[in-house]
Amino acid sequence: MNAAEFIVQMLEEEGVEYLFGVPGGAIEDLNIAVHKSKKIKPIITKHEAGAAFIADGYARVSGKLGVCCSTAGPGATNLITGLATSFADYVPVCALTGQVATSVFGKGAIQESGAEGINMDMIFRHFTKYSAMVFNEQRTQYMVQKALRVAHTSPGGPVHLNLPADIMKRTASREIPTTLHWHTRSYDPEATMAAARILAQARRPVIIAGWGVALSRGAMELKALAELLDIPVAASPKAKGIFPESHPLSLGGLGFAGSTIAQRYINDGEVDVLLAVGTSFNEMMSSGWDEDMLKRAHLIHIDVDASKIGRNYSTSLGVIGDARITLQALCTAIKEELGSPELSHRRQVSTARQAIRFLKGREKMLDEPQPNVKGLYHPRNLVQDIQSCFPEDTLYFVDIGNVMAWAIRYLKVDAPYSFFVSLGFGGMGHASAAPVGAQLALPKRPVVALVGDGGFLMNGVEVATAVEYDLPVVWVVFNNAMFGLVYHGRKLYAQPIPEGLPSRYKRVDFAKMAQGLGARGIRIDTPGQFTAGLVQDILAAKRPTVLDVRIDPEAVPPIHSRIKTIDKRFAA
């Protein structure tokens, strides 16, 4: 067995099903080894950025390792944005990049990207948890096992191995007869007990749930805790749906394009304990580090990443640990606390549900459909129509732009692990490609991408990958012929940026583009054309489909908290 075949064997043992990538000379040994594999299917993408995004999409929905590969040099640099996205959102992805033979290092081989060239190993260290060159075939087992273990250890993330062509051809074998168990989850029992004592006595507690709860698959445990003490739950934008949004204890989203309910309830001064779980209090989650959030007696922060605790708000209790296991232990500990006679009053029905009902009643008025000006779809109506036409078990991927603001604000997500937005790194194009990996991970669920025209132009060529492998992803392109977020941002700043800076461009016909790529392309010029019947037809056809929807470019998106942050923090 050569080193490349040995790597493939170890990936098979890990349960890897797909290798996403673009071929090239320097990675041929790996491609040949995968070709011989009965367990791993190569998925050839149209661009390496797409490969990395697709691996991320696969890992994001399945929780399993996504694996992508590229040739040396430009193939590897094309992976960077995708891997950085996985890094910022803690998604376990392994990138395998080719390399010229070590024997010609420094001699001017095309695409050389080793220690004496554009050093990929070093470049990748900045956005991976582990990056190394397999410089000796005898190191293969050690390095692959280390990479897989590190990718999965909480908080997860991408890893990278650079594979020189000569080393990959040499015989390699298992040096240590180990079986790895890296899916360990840990928590802090003492801190959890302390949190249980505070929560059991809280008068008006609130939970803020973040992406970490989704990463640890802790939705059930979150619901159990909320219902145990009748605690309202707000979700960060990335964690949308982690707690059912139609649950009577749901406050909806907090932060960017969040609901006014969450903000009002949390900042009304009455809340005495804020339990933050798996959320990092980043800009998008905290509306630019809203200072009102500081006004409470206790902030308990559960996070697997100790560096996030106390980073932005003073925290009375930090609990380092996996979100799911900690929530589970917290429930058990609280039940014990409630057994004591002095806390029996806590069992009475809290007033939280009533308060939320009242706030929801007020917000409902703000949620009425908007007029479709000049016969063009109002993007908010489009989001709501998508929601009502696609089945409840649909997986939604949302791209960066106004489109995400509309979706975060107006989609109602009740199923956990069903809404994905790459807000950690915030790169456009993720939702154009990642859904392809999601569809491979969960073939039975409808996968719908909500993307802007700008984001679709970045990685929408991966529609052809979906065509190649018969993956019925549906892309809805919010076509406003502009970088809408940039356009509206410029108008909303306290000191508006003068008109004339280019943010508009000539309209692209995405239905035709889709047809050219081999998919079904449908153009929607007016709202009446988007119907439940059309969606039924699309789902029944089981073909990759692009809906090119002309939307009202002037509809002002709910991006005001972001604009305020830019005004406040980015000013000179």
- Partner from ligand TPP, Mg ion, none binding residue 486, C-beta < 5-8 Å depending on class: ligand TPP
Residue 559 within binding range of ligand TPP, rule CB under 6 A: no
Name the CA radius of gyration of the chain, rounded.
25
- Partner from ligand TPP, Mg ion, none binding residue 403, C-beta < 5-8 Å depending on class: ligand TPP
Phi, psi of 164 (to 5 degrees): -65, 140
Residue 454 within binding range of ligand TPP, rule CB under 6 A: yes
- Can you tell me which of 48, 303, 453, 548 binds ligand TPP, judged by CB under 6 A? 453
Residue 403 within binding range of ligand TPP, rule CB under 6 A: yes
Per CB under 6 A, the segment of 306-314, 333-341, 408-416, 451-459 that binds ligand TPP is 451-459
Residue 489 within binding range of Mg ion, rule CB under 5 A: no
Residue 156 within binding range of ligand TPP, rule CB under 6 A: no
Q: How far is CA 257 from CA 254, 391, 396, in A?
A: 8, 24, 17
- Can you tell me which of 484, 489, 544, 557 binds Mg ion, judged by CB under 5 A? 484
Q: Least distance in Å: CB of 240 to ligand TPP?
A: 17
Residue labelled with tokens 């992406």? 211
Residue labelled with tokens 């024997």? 103
Q: Least distance in Å: CB of 82 to Mg ion?
A: 21
Cβ closest to ligand TPP, residue 248 vs residue 426? 426
Q: Least distance in Å: CB of 457 to ligand TPP?
A: 8
- Can you tell me which of 20, 90, 265, 483 binds ligand TPP, judged by CB under 6 A? 483
Residue 497 within binding range of ligand TPP, rule CB under 6 A: no
- The count of residues interacting with ligand TPP (CB under 6 A) is 19
Residue 5 within binding range of Mg ion, rule CB under 5 A: no
Per CB under 5 A, the segment of 33-41, 261-269, 306-314, 453-461 that binds Mg ion is 453-461
List, as one string, the DSSP characters of 111-140.
T--STTSS-HHHHHHTTSSEEEE--SGGGH
Q: Which strand ranges, in their side-by-side order, compose the sheet holding 474-479? A: 419-421, 395-398, 447-452, 474-479, 545-550, 520-524
Q: How many CA atoms lie within 13 A of 256 on its CB side?
A: 28
Start-to-end C-alpha separation, the chain = 60
Residue 453 within binding range of Mg ion, rule CB under 5 A: yes
List, as one string, the DSSP characters of 371-401.
P-GGGPBPHHHHHHHHHHHS-TT-EEEE-SS
Residue 549 within binding range of ligand TPP, rule CB under 6 A: no
Q: How many Cβ atoms from other residues are within 10 Å of residue 380's Cβ?
A: 21
Per CB under 6 A, the segment of 280-288, 461-469, 484-492, 540-548 that binds ligand TPP is 484-492
Residue 478 within binding range of ligand TPP, rule CB under 6 A: yes
Cβ 56 vs Cβ 80: under 8 Å: no
What lies within 8 Å, CB to CB, of 333 at 6+ separation is 192, 193, 195, 196
Q: Least distance in Å: CB of 509 to ligand TPP?
A: 15
Cβ 402 vs Cβ 485: under 8 Å: yes
Cβ closest to Mg ion, residue 114 vs residue 379? 379
For the CA atoms of 164, 170, 174, 176, the dihedral, rounded to the nearest 10 degrees, stands at -70
- Using Cβ positions, the residue closest to ligand TPP within the complex turns out to be 452
Cβ closest to Mg ion, residue 50 vs residue 452? 452
Cβ 191 vs Cβ 320: under 8 Å: yes
Closest CA to 71 of 11, 132, 120: 120
Q: Least distance in Å: CB of 481 to ligand TPP?
A: 8
Residue 482 within binding range of ligand TPP, rule CB under 6 A: yes
Residue 484 within binding range of ligand TPP, rule CB under 6 A: yes
Per CB under 6 A, the segment of 303-311, 412-420, 476-484, 493-501 that binds ligand TPP is 476-484
Residue 123 within binding range of ligand TPP, rule CB under 6 A: no
Q: Which strand ranges, in their side-by-side order, compose the sheet holding 18-21? A: 41-44, 18-21, 66-70, 93-99, 159-164, 130-133
**Lookup: tokens for 505:** 């461009």
- Can you tell me which of 168, 199, 400, 549 binds ligand TPP, judged by CB under 6 A? 400
Residue labelled with tokens 């273990």? 149
Query: In this structure, which amino acid lies at residue 230?
Result: D
Partnered with residue 477 across adjacent β-strands are 451, 548
- Using Cβ positions, the residue closest to Mg ion within the complex turns out to be 452
Residue 480 within binding range of Mg ion, rule CB under 5 A: yes
What lies within 8 Å, CB to CB, of 108 at 6+ separation is none
- Can you tell me which of 427, 460, 521, 527 binds ligand TPP, judged by CB under 6 A? 427
- Partner from ligand TPP, Mg ion, none binding residue 212, C-beta < 5-8 Å depending on class: none
Per CB under 6 A, the segment of 237-245, 282-290, 298-306, 452-460 that binds ligand TPP is 452-460
- Partner from Mg ion, ligand TPP, none binding residue 485, C-beta < 5-8 Å depending on class: ligand TPP
Residues that bind ligand TPP (CB under 6 A): 399-403, 426-428, 452-455, 478, 480, 482-486
Catalog residues that contact Mg ion under the rule CB under 5 A. Answer: 452-454, 480, 484
